[in-house]
A = this chain, B = another copy of it.
């Protein structure tokens, strides 16, 4: 590899897309350009024709993704002043499952005049939560049939995932379903727009669409049991050809070269998911290594050398994160979200609360929380669970509550780490990345104290874009100045911060005792011992009617 070569990584987030230029030599980030989606998250009404959406819907406009190519990449090139000819690869990552129906040529159904007023023709964003009845049906049918793949998903298929959303289209808009020649992840769709060739990546196929390298998709009989019209969904709307991440999807076509200002023929990597692509960007490429992407929620990506059944994880996919390894995913649905809720609801500001919370000793507040403001994604896999705070007195202060909420999310991570280890998937080292670790020292120290582990932090503050650029470099290959594998790319381009967080010996005992209380309440309220959270939700739903 010669110096002066670059790759572009493009990270498609929930509110914006951001393109980053990365030096292949050492992973240096030369610049980033962001495009704020003009329609953002569409969750109240469609941009056209004043069509109102039901609760729990969340859509996007696929044109916003194209505008990210058209606006962010040229701006990135202009601002960094790099010769486009020195950009040898492009990679993208996306939120997932974010999916859409298209014509055979990739035209999104929602751009057709006759369908633009039809909500089901649009992109269903990852946090579209209206397909719960379909998820319930998938779980019931899978359990009844004893589908073996269910264990790979912690025993529960999510309403956020591909077949829940696809089945909702069939249930509620059979015409849209019939009209769709293809249904695919937006991640794969944007790569298709870049290269002109349709590909399906192993990461989203594995984590969101029940595909596995060894067994492929579930059998048609399973889909037929969901709905006879759904029997051939894979062959009719999808593809059995799934390409491992790390492969090349194709090269920039003339059209996308014109959008971006990059040379046509530039290699483009197979699509990836924002969380999963962060692993190699955070140096996590070997079995036993875990990356925790910490932001509004936590996502845990762990590599293993074998497939094990782990209670309530999100999924395990061979080749899902690093080719040749088993990538395990778990998550906590509320982390930064909960801290933000507290600040919004109870005033104050994060910096002030953190400063005061940092002066407290563990256990001193007498408080404990269950961090289920957004439900529990792993290990219980129950979106209807709710938050709990216990131990308040007249002397309880806002910083004490703030610290307790941080501690609760740390306990939640410990539950996940221990679940993996108990199931025979070792967790040897942990790297944190994402928005929170770099700016919240207290949070990191508490996570170290609670888990009893040394925590490293990724050097990059935008690991998804860096990871995507790394996959772009792998798509190019060593022969073209890139790398031949993501492990090679990670070795040179991914870095850790010099400082780590080590457990404070004096805090371990108190946190072990508080954790024992957390686990008992977790099991009591999360495993059906006391059903108050569901009862409250049921009463709430009825009274809102």
Please list the residues of chain A having a beta carbon within 8 angstroms of any beta carbon in chain B: 334, 337-338, 341, 345-348, 361-368, 373-374, 386-394, 396-398, 401, 510, 513-514, 517, 520-521, 524-525, 530, 532-533, 535-537, 539-540, 542-544
Which residues of chain B have C-beta atoms less than 8 A from A398's C-beta?
345-346
Interchain Cβ contacts under 8 Å between A and B, 20 examples: A341-B392, A345-B398, A346-B346, A346-B398, A347-B348, A363-B536, A368-B532, A373-B392, A373-B393, A386-B390, A386-B393, A387-B390, A387-B391, A387-B392, A387-B393, A388-B390, A389-B389, A389-B392, A390-B533, A513-B539
- Nearest Cβ distance between residue A493 and chain B, in whole angstroms? 36
A510 and B532 within 8 A (CB): no
- Nearest Cβ distance between residue A446 and chain B, in whole angstroms? 15
* Residue of B whose beta carbon sits closest to that of A340: B394
* Assembly CA distance A336 to B399 (angstroms): 22
* Assembly CA distance A345 to B346 (angstroms): 7
How many copies of the chain does the oligomer comprise?
2
A374 and B387 within 8 A (CB): no
Which residues of chain B have C-beta atoms less than 8 A from A368's C-beta?
532, 536
B388 and A388 within 8 A (CB): yes
* Assembly CA distance A537 to B394 (angstroms): 14
Partner among B362, B513, B517, B536 whose Cβ is within 8 Å of the Cβ of A391: B536
Partner among B362, B365, B521 whose Cβ is within 8 Å of the Cβ of A530: B521
- Nearest Cβ distance between residue A430 and chain B, in whole angstroms? 26
* Assembly CA distance A391 to B388 (angstroms): 6
* Residue of B whose beta carbon sits closest to that of A397: B345
B510 and A337 within 8 A (CB): no
Most B C-beta atoms less than 10 A away, residue of A338, A392, A525, A530:
A392
Partner among B338, B390, B520 whose Cβ is within 8 Å of the Cβ of A536: B390
Q: A341-B392, A390-B536 are in contact. List 18 more A-B contacts (CB 8 A).
A: A338-B394, A341-B394, A345-B398, A346-B347, A346-B398, A363-B539, A368-B532, A368-B536, A374-B393, A374-B394, A386-B390, A386-B392, A387-B396, A388-B391, A390-B533, A391-B540, A521-B530, A521-B532
